[in-house]
Structure 1
Amino acid sequence: MDNNANTPHLISYLYLRRAVGFLGFALPIILVLGSVLIGNCQEIQSSISSYYHTLMRDVFVGTLCAIALFLFSYKGYANDKRDNIAGTFASFFAIGVAFFPTAPDMPLPPCDSFLCNIPSVITNPFISKLHFVFATLFFLVLTYFSLVLFTETKNKKTQTEQKKQRNRIYRICGYIMLVCIILIAIYFFVLEKKYPDLAKYTPVFWLETIALWAFATSWLIKGELLLKDK
């Protein structure tokens, strides 16, 4: 729900939402640039999660933990426990993504330096499967935020034009995330083995990035960075 009351409590939530949005936008960019500049990686990793196995591990884990903390602190404006519950679940799933890493790329992408990839002690395939489950549930909860929670209003008859525009953006972002989740699942369960040459285009990385940016856009709009009621 939207509520534009100018109270310190509500304003703090606006900044919280913006912080979540900015982190979502920045994560894939920082991981790629950091791995190039610090680790001399010349190729994009197979997924955002694969950067866990590069020198950008701390950035990957730290950013997810920050997002998890913000989501856990998020309560929403109204006395609606759904915001609380969704934020708590999203926080838990984000922590799961961070601390149950995906399996390292095999073979590892060619690099000009051993610094590109660091040795991994994570070899248990069960942990990698848990990572996939956590990542899927994380994005599904974020989709729920965009499609359901963000689009609600106290009185639909008095919706402002800005609120209607925001709702359209929330829905677009939500459907983009949903489509990306489905395409990633199709790739892993169908296309990866059938068309192995697709891997060189890193489709999972790009789909995850699109989904993250859709999530970030939704939260920045919710934080009234744009389309604020007049």
Structure 2
Amino acid sequence: MKPSANPGNNDIFTYRRLRRAIGYLGIALPVLLVVFSFIPFFKTEVQTSISDYYYTNLRDIFTGTLAAVGLFMISYKGHWNESLLKNDQLLTNVAGIMAVGVALIPVTPEFEVENILTLIPYDFSWLGWFHYGFAALLFGSFALLAINVFTIGQNEPEDIPVSTINENHIYRFCGIAIIILMILVPVSEMLKLFRYSTLILESLALFFFGAAWLIKGRALGDRGKLGEKIYREHNAEGTEEQ
């Protein structure tokens, strides 16, 4: 096989494919769960939260997707930074472990559940708090990655103005949106706004998480006017950005 003219490009494109995979999985999870809930074959009603799908026939989609996101993030070789809040390598590993934890340790069910097998075969209600803790750390890591990590080391050419849809603006917006949505989840639970408020808020948080990773993975392309406005690059192909 003929070697690549620029082997470094292979690493760049591999990173981008991995980022896109993480982004697509994050966005697809709530969409698949809700859509399949309307298909009689799966015998599953729309649940009040994403975590509640653990106790339905769609459990494999819930656990499998989260486990895949977790493994992808653990295998993602981020950059090391002395600041813990900007440490790509640390935050992606934490997020990956938390994603696997959310998948394997279920939330405490709101109703009596029979014949449900779990990784930890004990009916301890406090195990549900581990699930909530993992979920909080997971979304917290997502937000920190978008706000503190994705915005590091971007191009700043003087001849290209910063547009409204510049990638850094998108990352910060997504990160802040995730934080706000996660604060609203317990608030909506206490106020009992409406039946599916938690499901909607969690789905929106996953959408913003996925959107940030897709932009980082250049899923919309990086050439032409759109690429110039988002990435401030005349021609992004062949750059050394990771």
Pick the TM interval, shorter chain: 0.7 to 0.9
Greater radius of gyration (CA):
2
> Hey, what does 2:96 align to over in structure 1?
91
> Hey, what does 2:42 align to over in structure 1?
39
> Hey, what does 1:184 align to over in structure 2?
185
Q: Quote how far apart the aligned CAs of 1:208 are.
A: 0.2
> Hey, what does 2:108 align to over in structure 1?
103
Q: Distance in 2 between matches of 1:129 and 1:199?
A: 23
Bigger relative contact order (CA 8 A; separation at least 6): 1
Within 5 Å, which residues of 2 pair with 1:149-188?
A: 149-153=149-153, 156=156, 161=162, 165-188=166-189
Of the three residues 60, 63, 82, the one matched with 1:61 is 63
> Hey, what does 1:15 align to over in structure 2?
17
* Paired amino acid for 2:116: S
Q: Contact between 2:23 and 2:213, CA under 8 Å: does it hold in 1?
A: yes
Unaligned ranges ≥5, structure 2 = 1-6, 223-232, 236-242
- Return closer, same or farther for 1:66/1:128 CA change in 2, 3 Å cut-off: same
Aligned length: 208
Q: Quote how far apart the aligned CAs of 1:17 are.
A: 0.2
* Paired amino acid for 2:32: I
Q: Contact between 1:180 and 1:211, CA under 8 Å: does it hold in 2?
A: yes
Q: Quote how far apart the aligned CAs of 1:153 are.
A: 1.4
Q: Distance in 2 between matches of 1:98 and 1:47?
A: 14
Q: Does 1:120 align with 2:116?
A: yes
- Return closer, same or farther for 1:187/1:87 CA change in 2, 3 Å cut-off: same
Q: Quote how far apart the aligned CAs of 1:181 are.
A: 0.8
Q: Deviations over 1:183-220 (max 9, x none)?
A: 012234x32xxx4xx352x1110000000000000000
> Hey, what does 2:138 align to over in structure 1?
138
Q: Distance in 1 between matches of 2:147 and 2:74?
A: 19
Q: Distance in 1 between matches of 2:16 and 2:174?
A: 19
Q: Quote how far apart the aligned CAs of 1:39 are.
A: 2.4
Q: Does 1:25 align with 2:19?
A: no
- Return closer, same or farther for 1:158/1:132 CA change in 2, 3 Å cut-off: farther
Per the normalisation by structure 1, the TM-score is: 0.81
> Hey, what does 2:213 align to over in structure 1?
219
Q: Distance in 1 between matches of 2:68 and 2:205?
A: 18
Q: Quote how far apart the aligned CAs of 1:105 are.
A: 3.3
> Hey, what does 2:199 align to over in structure 1?
205
- Return closer, same or farther for 1:159/1:226 CA change in 2, 3 Å cut-off: farther
Q: Contact between 2:67 and 2:103, CA under 8 Å: does it hold in 1?
A: yes
* Paired amino acid for 1:221: I
- Return closer, same or farther for 1:44/1:154 CA change in 2, 3 Å cut-off: closer
Identity, % of aligned pairs? 35
Per the normalisation by structure 2, the TM-score is: 0.77
- Return closer, same or farther for 1:227/1:176 CA change in 2, 3 Å cut-off: farther
Q: Deviations over 1:132-191 (max 9, x none)?
A: 110011000000011110011166566954797111111111111000111012234x32
What is the Cα-based RMSD across aligned positions, in Å?
2.6
Q: Quote how far apart the aligned CAs of 1:124 are.
A: 2.0
